[in-house]
């Protein structure tokens, strides 16, 4: 198998973990968790606060992350396990991801019934899996061009700033939520 193919196989467990987590979030959203969560102001408030804190923390971790140019096979296996855990944590325990999935996909699914709802759900899941596989391929491509790790370091910085920006957006949403409840 080619070098490119081997590197893609190395990240396959991470891609599958992210895809499975997203699949569960999509299914929960379409099956009605969105209606339950969005109907309780305290739950939405909790998700917004936790989502903001989570994104601030993850942004900090991402900003400080160092890129590694070479790892041996044993280190690679340990790293894969850590990355799978990290992926699951970011996917399942991220209140912002939950809020987005519930708020966007769950709410959008309310207008479908029967086979249309099943088709909508399958399309969301398929697009999610395609997205994660595309990210892996793009990451491998960028990695093959970036022998020094500078591009990956730059992408980490951009990712951190995006996370912090979304955290600020969530805090603004929280403020709007509080003022609407108080009024």
* Positive or negative: CA dihedral 99, 128, 135, 83: positive
Q: How far apart are CA 81 and CA 14, in angstroms?
A: 9
Summarised one tens digit per residue, pLDDT across range 39-51 is 888 888 888 888 8
Give the highest mean pLDDT range of 23-27, 39-43, 84-88.
23-27
| pLDDT at res. 2 | 58
Q: What is the pTM of this model?
A: 0.75
């Amino acid at each position: 198998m080619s070098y490119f193919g081997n590197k893609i196989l190395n990240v396959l467990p991470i891609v599958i973990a992210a895809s499975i987590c997203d699949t569960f979030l999509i299914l929960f959203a379409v099956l009605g968790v969105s209606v339950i969560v969005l109907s309780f102001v305290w739950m939405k408030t909790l998700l917004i606060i936790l989502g903001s804190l989570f994104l601030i923390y993850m942004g900090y971790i991402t900003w400080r992350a160092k890129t590694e140019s070479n790892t041996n096979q044993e280190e690679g296996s340990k790293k894969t396990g850590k990355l799978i855990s990290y992926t699951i944590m970011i996917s399942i325990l991220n209140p912002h991801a939950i809020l987005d999935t519930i708020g966007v996909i769950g709410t959008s699914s309310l207008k479908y019934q029967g086979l249309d709802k099943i088709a909508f759900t399958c399309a969301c899941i398929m697009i999610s899996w395609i997205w994660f596989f595309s990210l892996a391929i793009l990451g491998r491509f960028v990695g093959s061009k970036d022998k020094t790790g500078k591009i990956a370091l730059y992408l980490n910085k951009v990712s951190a700033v995006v996370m912090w920006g979304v955290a600020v957006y969530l805090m603004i949403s929280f403020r709007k939520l509080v003022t609407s409840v108080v009024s």
